[in-house]
Structure 1
Amino acid sequence: MHFLCLARCQLGFLLRQFELFGLSAEQQNDILRKEVALVSGQSIDIHAGISGSRMFRLLCEALGDPDPLKGARESQNAQMLELLPAVREAVRAGENPLHCALKAAASGNIVDVSFADDFDVAGALEKSMAAPFAIDDFGLFTRRLAAARTLTLAADNAGEIVLDRLLLEEIQRWRRQKGLPGVRATVLVKGGPIYNDALRQDALTAGLDREADILDTGSDTIGIHAACLSESALENLLAADMIISKGLANYESDFGSEAFPEKIFYLFRSKCEVLSGQLGIPLGSGVLMAHHREQGGRNALH
């Protein structure tokens, strides 16, 4: 795990929660002492997602609440649902609606409590819809999509999951326009509260059950790790003809890519300085990247 994952993401998240929940100095010191003890006992090679998951559980224990960010997720879903009609209109007015839907879904990745608590979602959407992807494998994406019969979208955060619904709508419209049958879609959400990652209820609130089957990972771990998946989630990912992996944590965890790299596409905003540097792209860029053409930037973050 890169030290910035700890210093900026994990500890930064903790400090923001201290303020959000109005914790006393004594409570803050107690949590920080436990976090230091937790980190000191970890291997330097631990995955950032595993480490961050342990830290979040520590916070939940201190707060006496297994889901302290439930209200934040609900607010983020409501905010994005309010924006959805305007975003849908902008996407369908674009020269290439599917490409626009991918950019919108990537821009929704700004809703991430690991990096901030307040989000200018409307502003981010407007900017990212006008900007090109820093890495854009749209041609590879559409070739794979045309051949796929089943597709799994590994979701990331609440709020942005509303734009994943729009993406799935446009995927089905694109296939119909090509004279292809609809693809069988599954949305994979977390099996338990972790940060503001989307859960089954968030997917239902977003209306994703109209576009896909909803399946959870069977765990409350950040990212997608084979050892943390339920049997049904693992079977779904192995059987899918195509996987859209949303967000930085899913990109970093890199589930199964060495076994079937041609079917995985990453869709995210590069919010991390380390990752942006490894990929050679500006911080905050949108990315649509096929795994088998990626340049190895993931290794610096494990």
Structure 2
Amino acid sequence: MHISKECYLCIYNQVFKITERLNLNDEKASEVLRVGAKILSKYDLTYMPPVIAADVYKKISEILGIEDLFEKEKKEAIKEALKFKEILEKRIKKSKDPLFDAAKISVAGNVIDLGVHQEYNLEKEIKNIFEMKFFKNDFNEFREKLKNAKTLCYLADNAGENVFDEIFIKEIRRFNPEIQVFYFVRGKPIINDVTLKDLEGLEIWDLAEVVDSGVPTPGFCIPFANKKAKDIFQTSNLVISKGMGNFECLFGECEREVFYFYKVKCNVVARASKSKLGEYMIYKGEK
């Protein structure tokens, strides 16, 4: 998915919010903002938003000498999400359709996004999970294909969201005990996307093979992936893509079927997916 005119402003606004969040003095903030604008000016409309964002954030990290700009926020998001895990799993045990309700939990977790939105209300999102309505809902087709699938490539998104992915993956494995799940994370810190380091001590290691995809972009951009990740992505029977960043990198670009699970958080993605801002999606992208 190529960048649109609104994306330039969105990315630059993210840069400005970093200067505020880190309480940079005027001199350092000016340097960061000017560099951000310079990098944005290099890219025309043929590039994907996550590719441009990765370039911008990489330079900001270098200027500030901070490898992981959102390390604190990621830890807090995971800690907050874990507070709800036991409650949600108890609800799943009572569910008439645990697989679908677990999918809702996973999609609801996609509200955790410090790129597009610097603030989010996870508790509010949690309260409405089981009444969630999807603007586009291809879940029944996903369920049918899951029955006989041997391998699933699951593209993770943001830190904190991974806790809700664990709940969904548990139900996937109950539904199809023979399936092998590969859980893809980013190759290095980028915004609040989840990395190997962020998952230390969490349950996901017992539920799936966690794969460092190698990508430095806030989305699974295939050209940046390592060979192992590319091979798994192309050969897996099913692919789940979580979040807008993965959608932006893959939709119309990846030449294979992908099931996109996400909340629509910007008008550019809304137009691309023929949906509306704020809607929830389980959307099968064609080959």
Task: Quickly name the TM-score band, shorter chain normalised.
Answer: over 0.9
In the TM superposition, 1:152-163 aligns within 5 A as 152-163=153-164
In structure 2, the partner of 1:22 is 23
In structure 2, the partner of 1:285 is 279
In structure 2, the partner of 1:13 is 14
In structure 1, the partner of 2:217 is 221
In structure 1, the partner of 2:71 is 70
Say yes or no: does 1:117 pair with 2:113: no
One-letter amino acid of the counterpart of residue 37, structure 1: K
Task: Return the match for 2:226 from 204, 227, 230.
Answer: 230
Q: TM-score, normalised by structure 1?
A: 0.89
CA distance in 1, matches of 2:265, 2:129: 13
Structure 1 pair 243/121, CA: closer, same or farther in 2 (3 Å)? Answer: same
SS at match of 1:134: strand
SS at match of 1:5: helix
Offset of residue 41 of structure 1: 1.7
CA distance in 1, matches of 2:42, 2:278: 33
One-letter amino acid of the counterpart of residue 222, structure 1: P
SS at match of 2:118: coil
Unaligned ranges ≥5, structure 1:
176-180, 294-302
In structure 2, the partner of 1:241 is 237
Does structure 2 conserve the Cα–Cα contact (< 8 Å) formed by 1:203 and 1:214? no
In the TM superposition, 1:28-177 aligns within 5 A as 28-175=29-176
Structure 1's consecutive aligned runs of 4 or more residues displaced over 3 angstroms after TM superposition are: 255-259, 277-280
Does structure 2 conserve the Cα–Cα contact (< 8 Å) formed by 1:128 and 1:286? no
SS at match of 2:283: strand
Give the fraction of aligned pairs with identical amino acids, expressed as a percent. Answer: 24
Does structure 1 conserve the Cα–Cα contact (< 8 Å) formed by 2:182 and 2:208? yes
Structure 1 pair 121/141, CA: closer, same or farther in 2 (3 Å)? Answer: same
Does structure 2 conserve the Cα–Cα contact (< 8 Å) formed by 1:13 and 1:114? yes
- The farther-off stretch of 62-71 and 272-281 is 272-281
Offset of residue 258 of structure 1: 5.2
One-letter amino acid of the counterpart of residue 5, structure 2: F
CA distance in 1, matches of 2:250, 2:83: 32
Say yes or no: does 1:204 pair with 2:165: no
SS at match of 1:115: coil
- 1:80-135 Cα deviation digits (max 9, x unpaired): 11111111122332321111111111110111111223321111122243121111
SS at match of 1:219: coil
- 1:171-219 Cα deviation digits (max 9, x unpaired): 11222xxxxx421111000010000000012233431001000111113
One-letter amino acid of the counterpart of residue 7, structure 1: L
- The farther-off stretch of 94-103 and 122-131 is 122-131
CA distance in 2, matches of 1:158, 1:96: 27
Offset of residue 256 of structure 1: 8.3
Does structure 2 conserve the Cα–Cα contact (< 8 Å) formed by 1:77 and 1:206? no
Q: TM-score, normalised by structure 2?
A: 0.94
Task: Return the match for 1:192 from 188, 192, 211.
Answer: 188
Does structure 2 conserve the Cα–Cα contact (< 8 Å) formed by 1:81 and 1:206? no
Structure 1 pair 69/256, CA: closer, same or farther in 2 (3 Å)? Answer: same
One-letter amino acid of the counterpart of residue 101, structure 2: C
Structure 1 pair 44/260, CA: closer, same or farther in 2 (3 Å)? Answer: closer
Unaligned ranges ≥5, structure 2:
none
In structure 2, the partner of 1:300 is none
Offset of residue 32 of structure 1: 1.4
One-letter amino acid of the counterpart of residue 262, structure 2: F
Does structure 2 conserve the Cα–Cα contact (< 8 Å) formed by 1:224 and 1:250? yes
Does structure 2 conserve the Cα–Cα contact (< 8 Å) formed by 1:189 and 1:215? yes
Task: Return the match for 1:273 from 254, 267, 271.
Answer: 267
SS at match of 2:282: strand
Offset of residue 234 of structure 1: 0.8
Does structure 2 conserve the Cα–Cα contact (< 8 Å) formed by 1:103 and 1:133? no
SS at match of 1:214: strand
